[in-house]
Structure 1
Amino acid sequence: MTLSYERILVAIDGSKASEQAFKEATAVAKRNNATLGLVHAIDTRAFSAVTSYDGAMTDKATEYAETLLTEYKESAIKEGLENVEIFIEYGSPKTVISREIAKKFKADLIMCGATGLNAVERLLVGSVTEYVIRHAPCDVLIVRGTAPDVETV
């Protein structure tokens, strides 16, 4: 039995981890002749703490997301992919990716970069990747990239 994917969604946030996930997602999409979805979720919760919020922050975040995803889309097309879709959404990245966009895009695979957070930071902040693993309606592949450094206590 050969497993193939037709609609691959990759989370892009501008980090090295998401860049590695994008590269792997592009390769998987090419092998499967799949449609690649690129998603960037703008975390609007961060703006609620700013008392002088006037929409300029959202505009800058949206502009950054558009530029970032356009560059990734162009790169995927240069690699030979024909079907690449872009999604810019607002809200909590973990719920936007795992619940909203995955269903809207009809993803059968979500690819994410592994986080660089340690156990304490994950406990306090929460991990988008961990949440996606637990709540996605489809398979999830975590791309590690290079082996993480081991810290000694």
Structure 2
Amino acid sequence: MFEKILVAIDDSPGNQAVFQKALSIAKANNARLILLHVLWEEANRINIQSKFGQDSYSKFAPETKSPRQQNFLKNRGLNILRSLIREASAAGVKSEFTQITGDPSSTICEFAQSCQADLIVMGKQSYYDLEKIFLGSVSNYVLYHAPCSVLLVQTPIVKKQKVLSLHFSANN
């Protein structure tokens, strides 16, 4: 039924649940996994500062990253992808990975189109309820704009304190 399964990978705590669901579907269908990690492109971020003031902007949009921080995030993403590729290989599933810089919502859909994916597997989570209202969610966008079927894997909701600690560790 499925030949190419695109797995949208991020660095969230629910990442492993998303990958395991995709891996089990790939095994059952003898399908290839295509792992995709999208690094946010700073220029494409929505600037809500003008509408809601500096305080609102700082709550909803992560700060611009220094080249050192960007390199750290790039390497962390590649390490996650390589680890998952090894796991897929050990399970006997053919796989490949790509890391792209851009807006995750549109990039996932465009990449699914370009690689002719039959299915997109991704997590459904929310860091902040207000963020979802103002910015929308990646999973919601992909669900309505994807060129193929989409499987949303419910992942744990991360509290604000955990998100801040993740951003802090990326800054070091």
- TM-score in same-fold range (> 0.5): yes
Please report the RMSD computed on the Cα atoms of aligned residues, expressed in angstroms. 2.2
* Aligned position for 1:5: 2
TM-fit CA distance, 1:117: 4.1
Rounded to whole Å, the distance in 2 between the matches of 1:6 and 1:36 is 9
* Equivalent position SS for 2:14: helix
**2:41 aligns with one of 38, 41, 44:** 44
| TM-fit CA distance, 1:105 | 1.8
Q: CA deviation at 1:63?
A: 0.8
2:96 counterpart residue number: 85
Q: 1:16 aligns to what SS in structure 2?
A: coil
- List runs of 5+ in structure 2 lacking aligned partners: 46-62, 158-172
Say which of 39, 56, 73 aligns to 2:85: 73
Report the residue type matching 1:44 in the other structure. E
TM-score of the pair, normalised by structure 1: 0.82
Q: Against the structure 1 CA distance between its residues 127 and 47, is the aligned structure 2 distance closer, same or farther, given a 3 Å change threshold?
A: closer
AA aligned opposite 1:84: S
Q: Residue 35 of structure 1 corresponds to which residue in structure 2?
A: 32
Aligned to 1:96: 107
Distance 2:117 2:91 in 1: 21
In structure 2, the partner of 1:138 is: 148
**CA displacement 1:16-60 (0-9 Å, x = unmatched):** 22321110000000000001010000002279853x84x333322
Task: Give % identity.
Answer: 32
Give me the whole-angstrom Cα distance separating, in 2, the residues matched to 1:30 and 1:130. 27
Per the alignment, in what secondary structure is the counterpart of residue 124 of structure 1? helix
Say how many residue pairs are matched. 140
In structure 2, the CA distance between the partners of 1:125 and 1:19, relative to structure 1 (3 Å rule), is: farther
**Counterparts of 2:14 and 2:109 in 1: how far apart (Å)?**
18
- State the shift of 1:87 in Å: 0.8
Pair 1:121-2:118 in alignment: no
Partner of 2:54: none
Unaligned ranges ≥5, structure 1: 149-153
Higher helix proportion (structure 1 or 2): 2
TM-score by length of 2: 0.73
What is the rounded CA distance, in whole Å, between the counterparts of 2:70 and 2:44 in structure 1? 8
Q: Which runs of 4+ in 1 moved over 6 A?
A: none
